[in-house]
Structure formats: C-alpha cells, structure tokens
Amino acid sequence: MRIVAPSQNEVISVANSPQARKRAKQNTVRRLHNASQKSAMRTTIKKLVTALEAGDKAVAADAYKVAVSSIDLATQKGLHHANRGARLKSRLNKRLQAL
C-alpha cells in the first residue's frame, strides 16, 4: 500500500496485488495522455475561433481543416462521444459559413 501526496504525475495506489498496482499505473499514464490529446484538440478549436472572430476567412478555412481532423482523431480514440464530435464540427462549420 502506497499513499503519496497527490500530484498529476504520481500514482496514488492502495492496491495490494501486483496486477492492481500495474493497472493503477497504466490508468495514470493513459489519463495523462488523454488529457494532453484533449488539450491539443481544444487548442486547434481555439485557433479556429480566433480566426473566425478576426474575420479572416482564408485562415479560418485552414484552421477549420486542422480542427476537424483533430476532432475526428479524438472521436476515433474514444476521447469523447461521436455525437459530440459531430456537434462540434457542425457548429464550427456553421460559424465558418456565416463569415
């Protein structure tokens, strides 16, 4: 049994078996990886929104392609539900077409 002050990279494990300790470690690694992937997706969306607010259609169109790609990738990896990905793309495309 190991209890450590929590930080984002620490494994807090009260597991007693080697298998449970391994699963706790895997879950931590996967959680951190998923968080970075979600953050990257949000960053691409923010870049698109910034271009949309600036009114630059050419830059927004390029940013839209990148954002859609990152949303699709996140959906394929199971980072969010397929309907959420479709909803995000639809809303972003609607804003792009309104320019």
Tokens of 43: 């960053």
Burial of 98 (C-beta count, 10 Å sphere; 0-12/13-18/19+): exposed
Name every residue whose Cβ is closer than 8 Å to that of residue 23 and which is 6 or more positions away in sequence: 15
**pLDDT mean across residues, the chain:** 91
Q: Model confidence over 12-43: pLDDT tens digits?
A: 678 889 999 999 999 999 999 999 999 999 99
Exposure b/e, 12-26, CB count within 10 A at least 16 = b: ebebeeeeebeebee
The pLDDT of residue 2 is above 50:
yes
- Read off the DSSP letter of residue 2: B
Q: What is the pTM of this model?
A: 0.81
